[in-house]
Amino acid sequence: MEEIQAVPQTGTSHALELRFTGSGNEYFRIWIVNLLLTIITLGLYYPWARVRRLRYFHGNTLVGGHALDFHGEPKKMLRGFLLAGALVLLYSFAGRISPLAGGVAFLAVASFVPALLWAALRFRLANTSWRGMRMRFAGTIGGAYRALAAAVVPIALLVGLGWLSGSPTDDPDQPPRTALAIAAPLVVLLALSLAPLMFWLFKRYQHGNLALGEERSRLGLGPGPFFALSFKVAGVFVLASLALNIGPALAVGLEDVRGRTWVLLLLVFGYLIVLAISGAYATSRLQNLLWSNTASARIRFRSALEALPYIRLAITNAVLVILTLGFYWPYAATATAKMRLEAVTVQLDVSPDELATEWRRDDDAAGDAAGDLFGIDIGF
């Protein structure tokens, strides 16, 4: 085994570099073979394909020279996928029968969402290991409900609004209609403005309960930066739209746009690029914000993902994925993982070896058992 690539720093602090060694060519072959198997088995092979993919990405992620490992068993995950698939089918079918059935199904599914998220977080971490040590998700199911409870407010606002505007009124000139017309945009705006707060509550739950051995993480961050970030992302979206969509459309003139299929296609293409730019900006800033503020007693993370190179990568990926009808996607996925992971360093306040010898896994492995029982895996 190689010696741990720890760079001793001042005092007793050690920095562990993250490296990603996956290759686009190899992942392309894995992806295509597993996609074929998934399609010809009508989706039943999906858990096996997913385990391969996770093992490939984990196994090529080296933290201080040691690869991560994924231990999930496809057979157990199949149950979770079938359960999740049944829920999705039920929900989409109910919505088509009647709005009432759709509403009931929505409430039923929504009341399960926190439990599903908790199970998924637990499963993913309990099945991830570093140096033979399983990680843990220390959050409770009650914590998941508390973290997501606040989301009820904007959802109730939007559902109530939809219900009010959908209910028939006998007299179209009735005052409630006018009041509704004024109130509707305000309610939507209010619901939207609450989104960063919801997001912060969830991330505080997620990043506040990552555990390895004795160490347990905390997210040292209030909701403020999330609001600031959401304004910046909205600004980037507006600027990119002006430059790539609205601007060109006005320049060409709406008169000339009509009837010219290629102009419309270019505008749709431009819109996808706008999404790539604002999405990449949001992702890079959010990763830095979250991971640079996630720490346990002796472990800290630093993320220095630069926005511009990441946006450039996202644009290249989007263009090539579209031009190759999706076949570039494995290359895009590995390149993205490399840039995102290698921007992160882990700072230890003790030597990694010393920490390694004192870490003991809880003999009570309830976490793993629960994770295995559910076998629910949702990508984060």
Q: Does 57 bind other proteins (CB under 8 A)?
A: no
Q: How far is the CB of 41 from other proteins (least distance, A)?
A: 11
Q: Does 213 bind other proteins (CB under 8 A)?
A: yes
Of residues 308 through 347, those in contact with other proteins by CB under 8 A are 318, 321-322, 326-327, 329, 332-333
Q: Which of 16, 60, 230, 299 binds other proteins (CB under 8 A)?
A: 60
Write out the two tokens for 236. Answer: 């980037």
The neighbouring-strand residues paired with 212 are 135, 215
Q: How far is the CB of 46 from other proteins (least distance, A)?
A: 7
Give dist(CA 144, CA 270) in Å, integer: 38
Which residue number, 52 or 204, has a Cβ lying nearer to other proteins? 52
Q: Which stretch binds other proteins (CB under 8 A): 111-119, 123-131, 142-150, 200-208?
A: 123-131
Which positions from 227 to 266 touch other proteins by CB under 8 A, shown as an x/- string?
Answer: ---------------------------x--xxxxx--x--
Q: Which parts of 100-247 are beta strand (E)?
A: 128-130, 133-137, 210-212, 215-216, 218-219
Q: Which residues of 128-141 are buried (b: 16+ CB within 10 A; e: fewer)?
A: bbbbebbbbbbbee
Sign of CA pseudo-dihedral 164, 170, 172, 173? negative
Which residue number, 71 or 146, has a Cβ lying nearer to other proteins? 71
Give dist(CA 229, CA 274) in Å, integer: 17
Q: Does 30 bind other proteins (CB under 8 A)?
A: yes
Write out the two tokens for 29. Answer: 């072959």
Single out the residue of 37, 133, 156, 41 nearest to residue 359, CA to CA: 133
Which residue number, 69 or 290, has a Cβ lying nearer to other proteins? 69
Q: Does 92 bind other proteins (CB under 8 A)?
A: yes
Residue 217's Cα: distance from chain center in Å?
19
Give dist(CA 367, CA 135) in Å, integer: 10
Residues that bind other proteins (CB under 8 A): 1-2, 21-23, 26, 28-30, 32-40, 43, 46, 52, 55-56, 59-60, 62, 66-67, 69, 71, 92, 96-99, 129-134, 213, 254, 257-261, 264, 272, 275, 318, 321-322, 326-327, 329, 332-333, 355-357, 359-361, 379
